[in-house]
């Protein structure tokens, strides 16, 4: 299902670029739009994870450099039956985390330095389990490509200004330019909002089941959300199209509402506490 949704997203991007290119620049505009869309799709599939990690200045770590974090990821990945993902740390004071990669065999989990500084081992395990839930559910490709596509849709406005319409159909080109300039941000918002909310609930559930301790993740979400509201995340504020990748909304200011792609933390915590109340902790490697 996720592969189908990813294919639909990539096809929709291609179609959107072609239609807008034709409206703005006729045949030449369509040709330029085709090349742009094809390039973005290829880049999104093969390198979007590397782009995202680079955007946040994340560095790879291993068992020698970050043994505590690495062994938590290793332990949970084995428990989940997943290949060991790459592990990254982003130097960022805001506590947060995300997972990326085109499939479980090419996955990465990234946590911020702020997360490591503020959470204990049990809460950290809850967060890592949530991110591995995204990996196991094969959410990461769709979520990462969505971030790239949301940014690409915003590029249409610049493309519209650059083309400015062709001589044979300048009126239509002007209309297209105005439409793209006004609607591109809302299209990006629509793509993100449509794809993220239910996935967070599903990853919360998968993470809670993986550790057998729903309250670990509930406590982590409460702590992260409290800090995230007070601590800035400059790379996320500069690239709001990536906000849905994080376990908790990292944005501040005017765009925080427009790009609110997460369910409320209160509802997520309530669901996790309800899970904890329904049954005793499952037996597992954390006992």
Enclosing H/E stretch for 191: helix 170-211
Q: Which of 66, 131, 168, 267 is catalytic?
A: 131
Token readout for 90 is: 């982003």
**Whole-angstrom Cα distance, residue 62 to residue 53?**
16
Q: At what angle do helices 170-211 and 2-55 cross, to 10 degrees?
A: 90
**CA angle, 76 then 77 then 78, to 5°:** 90
Intra-chain end-to-end CA distance of the chain, in Å: 35
How many C-alpha atoms does 247 have within 13 Å on its Cβ side? 36
Token readout for 95 is: 């506590």
Residues 35-45 as b or e (16 or more Cβ within 10 Å = b): ebbeebbeebb
Token readout for 32 is: 């330029």
Listed residue (64, 146, 66) closest to 100, CA to CA: 146
Q: Assess whether 267 carries a catalytic annotation.
A: no
**Whole-angstrom Cα distance, residue 258 to residue 215?**
30
Q: How far is CA 139 from the centre of its chain?
A: 9
Are residues 164 and 136 in contact, defined by beta-carbon separation less than 8 angstroms?
no
3-state helix vs strand vs coil in the chain, percent to 5: 70, 5, 20
Listed residue (45, 9, 13, 10) closest to 154, CA to CA: 13
- Which residues are identified as catalytic? 131
């Amino acid at each position: 299902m996720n592969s189908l949704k990813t294919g639909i997203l990539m096809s929709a991007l291609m179609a959107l670029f072609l239609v807008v290119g034709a409206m703005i620049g006729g045949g030449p505009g369509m040709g330029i739009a085709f090349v742009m869309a094809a390039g973005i799709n290829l880049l999104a599939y093969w390198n979007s994870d590397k782009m995202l990690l680079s955007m946040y200045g994340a560095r790879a770590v291993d068992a020698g450099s970050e043994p505590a974090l690495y062994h938590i990821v290793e332990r949970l990945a084995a428990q989940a039956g997943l290949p060991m993902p790459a592990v990254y740390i982003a130097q960022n004071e805001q506590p947060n985390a995300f997972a990326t990669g085109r499939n479980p065999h090419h996955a990465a989990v990234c946590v911020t330095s702020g997360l490591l500084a503020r959470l204990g081992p049990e809460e950290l395990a809850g967060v890592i389990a949530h991110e591995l839930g995204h990996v196991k559910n094969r959410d990461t490709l769709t979520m990462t490509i969505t971030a790239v596509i949301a940014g690409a849709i915003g590029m249409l406005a610049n493309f519209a200004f650059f083309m400015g319409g062709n001589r044979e159909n300048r009126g239509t080109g002007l209309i297209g330019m105005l439409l793209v300039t006004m609607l591109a941000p809302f299209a990006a918002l629509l793509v993100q909002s449509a794809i993220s909310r239910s996935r967070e609930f599903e990853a919360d559930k998968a993470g809670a089941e993986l550790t057998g301790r729903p309250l670990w993740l509930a406590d982590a979400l409460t702590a992260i959300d409290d800090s995230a509201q007070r601590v800035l995340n400059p790379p996320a504020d500069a690239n709001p199209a990536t906000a849905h990748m994080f376990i908790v909304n990292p944005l501040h200011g005017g765009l925080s509402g427009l790009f609110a792609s997460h369910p409320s933390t209160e509802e997520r915590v309530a669901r996790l506490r309800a899970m904890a109340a329904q049954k005793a902790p499952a037996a597992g490697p954390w006992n």
